[in-house]
Amino acid sequence: MTPSQQQESRRNFMKKLGAAGIMMSVGLPSFAYDPVLDTHSLPTGLNPVKVSANRLIRKVVGLRPYRPSGFNLDVQKLDEKTIIHNYGHGGGGISLSWGTASLAIDKIELSSKDPVAVLGAGVIGLSTAILLLKQGRPVTIYTNKLPPSTTSNVAAAFWAPVSVYEADKVDTGFMNDFNQASKISQRMFQDLVGSRYGVWWIKTYFLGGNFDFPGGKSLYPDYKHYNEESSPFSGYMETEEVHSLMIEPPIYLKALLDDFYQLGGKLIIRRFNRKSELTQLKESVIMNCTGLGANELFEDKTLIPVKGQLAVLLPQEEIQYGYVYPSYNDLLYMFPRKDGIILGGTSEKNIWTSNTDETEINRILKGHQRIAAGLKP
């Protein structure tokens, strides 16, 4: 791709919705660094990913709950019940989980001794329930799915609250909540770094540049910028390097569920088909963390799925970095985890089926082969 084609691709991409949870943010305020650029030495020790079909161990499809107007933290009355919503995080569910849980809990007006119901046992529901339990509140989760069968389990889970909203659909109030939730959540994840929760810091490259630092530049330490000559990746006029947190969903969600039980939480397997059924619950406060389920249960038709596909390769211990190529027509990202090398990805709005598209899987594999082949020695 020529330099002019790269620039045009990035411009087209920035006009579109981001991908399923790991792309650059769309429309977020840009935080500029002092322009001391292209002065960094070439990074060393970047081993290539071994991309081949015979190393493929699974294909993953996830439907992210997306609202153009961003996540919903509204308070709703239902007869004598108070419902506090916390859903619609798009690609930023895991990244924002502790932050929006904190903001939602702040809306509770009852005393700390009153029981609370939480709907949903994905990352938003578990985070909300744990914070409530730490306040001393009795908590019961009602859910029809448990980890590892939740949408949260199939996220790539690189910490960056991206693909959360459309810039022209949000106001200053939402942006204040978004930035506050980002800061709260990132700080809490720092305290969870280690093997028990499967959280660690990772160096990540944005091929072509244009990373927008969602939530604020202070959340991405040790920023570096490379020109085409100094970049470890061939063929890109700009490359940006940031540090952020990587979360392993299979480890992380199991640890959260363990914490929930150890703190005294109760869990009931139950599916609610109509909103009116919630009036039967004994709890007077209900935290709605149903994700995409809110489309039907609470008739929020602005909530739509964004389908994302991943190809997962055998793990490679020597891969200690990630990258994102944020092209609208050829989105690619790679993150190493202990359960495999995560290769993405796709972004398909308002697609409700979770069928694997083999054409897209082949595109993903070929694209990452190209990037691996272009890694400078």
Give 31's pLDDT tier (boundaries 50, 70, 90): very low
Which one is predicted more confidently, 299 or 4? 299
**Angle 134-190-62 from CA coordinates, rounded to 5°:** 85
Tell me how crowded residue 292 is: count the other CB atoms within 10 A of its CB.
21
Residue 90 pLDDT > 90: yes
pLDDT-based confidence at residue 45 (cuts at 50, 70, 90): low
> Residue 299's pLDDT is what?
96
Q: What confidence category does residue 277 fall into, taking pLDDT thresholds of 50, 70 and 90?
A: very high
Distance CA 75, CA 52 (A): 49
Conformation bin of residue 163: beta by default, left when phi > 0, alpha when psi is -120 to 50: left
- Identify the pLDDT of residue 151: 87
Does the structure show a pLDDT above 80 at 41?
Answer: no
Tokens of 236: 């890109």
Mean pLDDT of 210-215: 92
Instruction: Quote the pLDDT of residue 210.
Output: 85
pLDDT at residue 314 above 50? yes
Q: What is the mean pLDDT of residues 173-183?
A: 98
Mean pLDDT, residues 328-337: 90
Amino acid in position 26:
V
- Longest CA–CA separation in the chain, Å: 66
Query: Strand order in 266-269's β-sheet?
Result: 75-78, 81-85, 285-288, 116-119, 139-143, 266-269
Residue 96 has pLDDT above 90, yes or no: yes
| Banded model confidence at residue 113, pLDDT cuts 50, 70, 90 | confident
Kindly state the percentage of the chain with pLDDT values over 90. Answer: 81
Please give the structure tokens belonging to residue 141.
């989760």
pLDDT at residue 15 greater than cutoff 80: no
SS3 251: helix
Between 36 and 261, the higher pLDDT residue: 261
Provide the pLDDT confidence category of residue 112 given band limits of 50, 70 and 90.
confident
Q: For the residues 24-35, what does the mean pLDDT come to?
A: 32
- Smallest CA-to-CA distance from 50 within 324, 318, 325, 302 is with 318
CB 59 within 8 A of CB 340: no
Average pLDDT over residues 117-131: 98
* Rounded Cα–Cα distance for residues 40 and 42 (Å): 6
How many angstroms separate the CA atoms of 271 and 139, rounded? 17
CA 59/CA 66 separation, integer angstroms: 22
- Which of 87, 206, 102 is CA-nearest to residue 158? 206
Report which of 129, 155, 133 is spatially closest to residue 62, judged by C-alpha positions: 155
pLDDT at 27: 30
How far, in Å, are 85, 141, 167, 193, 224 from residue 109 at the CA level? 14, 20, 31, 33, 45
What's the rounded Cα separation, in Å, for the pair 173 and 177? 6
Instruction: State yes or no: pLDDT of 33 exceeds 90.
Output: no
Stated pTM of the model: 0.88
Residue 67 Cα distances to 86, 177, 228, 283, 287, angstroms: 12, 15, 37, 28, 18
Question: Which one is predicted more confidently, 66 or 8?
Answer: 66
b/e 322-334 (16+ beta carbons within 10 angstroms → b):
bbbbbbbeebbbb
N residues, the chain: 377
The residues near 326 (Cβ < 8 Å, ≥ 6 apart) are 10, 13, 23, 24, 206, 207, 208, 210
* CA atoms within 13 A of residue 103's CA, in its CB half-sphere: 25
pLDDT in tens, 54-80: 999 999 999 999 999 999 999 999 999
Residue 110 confidence class, pLDDT cut points 50, 70, 90: confident
Mean pLDDT estimate for the chain: 89
